[in-house]
Amino acid sequence: MTDRTAETVTRLRATAGVLDAVAHDRAMAADVAQIRAAVTDLANQIRALVDAVERRSMPPGSCTIGWGVCPDHGATLVTSRGRSRCTVCGTTWDYDRENQHCREPATFLFHTAPVCRAHAEAAPDHSRITPIEGTA
């Protein structure tokens, strides 16, 4: 993703959040129900568009999970003020890695979805995880 696209994605995500807050504001009277429905629909469409843009920018063979992990420790990230940190190894990323599509190379199948090693390890117990031939 270019910096410009990444910035647009970040801003659209924030906008979708604001639209959701407006749509769920109980103070809004019934006569604005149509506007609320339109706003909710708009927020959903923005999110779908942003997801599609993110997926298109994924390198081929990437993990298919829509949230980030520490490549070594899995679902151990905490994020504040737009920076993510692994609570196990202390590695930091100067962006919100936790809420971004995973870009690690896929080396396992979670059922039929290609996932990286960290996401395979973070999968719930008894999930069907199989190595992808020739990648692990």
Interacting residue with Zn ion among 21, 33, 78, 88 (CB under 5 A)? 88
- Is 122 near Zn ion (CB under 5 A)? no
Stretch that binds Zn ion, among 25-33, 37-45, 51-59, 66-74 (CB under 5 A): 66-74
Residue closest to 107 by CA, chosen among 56, 59, 58, 63: 63
Q: Is 119 in the site for Zn ion (CB under 5 A)?
A: yes
Element (H, E) at 77: strand 77-80
Sole window of 31-39, 47-55, 94-102, 125-133 interacting with Zn ion (rule: CB under 5 A): 94-102
Q: Which of 53, 28, 22, 52 is nearest to 40 (CA)?
A: 22
- What residue spans of 24-130 are helical by DSSP H? 33-56, 117-122
Contacts with Zn ion by CB under 5 A lie at 63, 65, 70, 72-73, 86, 88-89, 102, 104, 116, 119
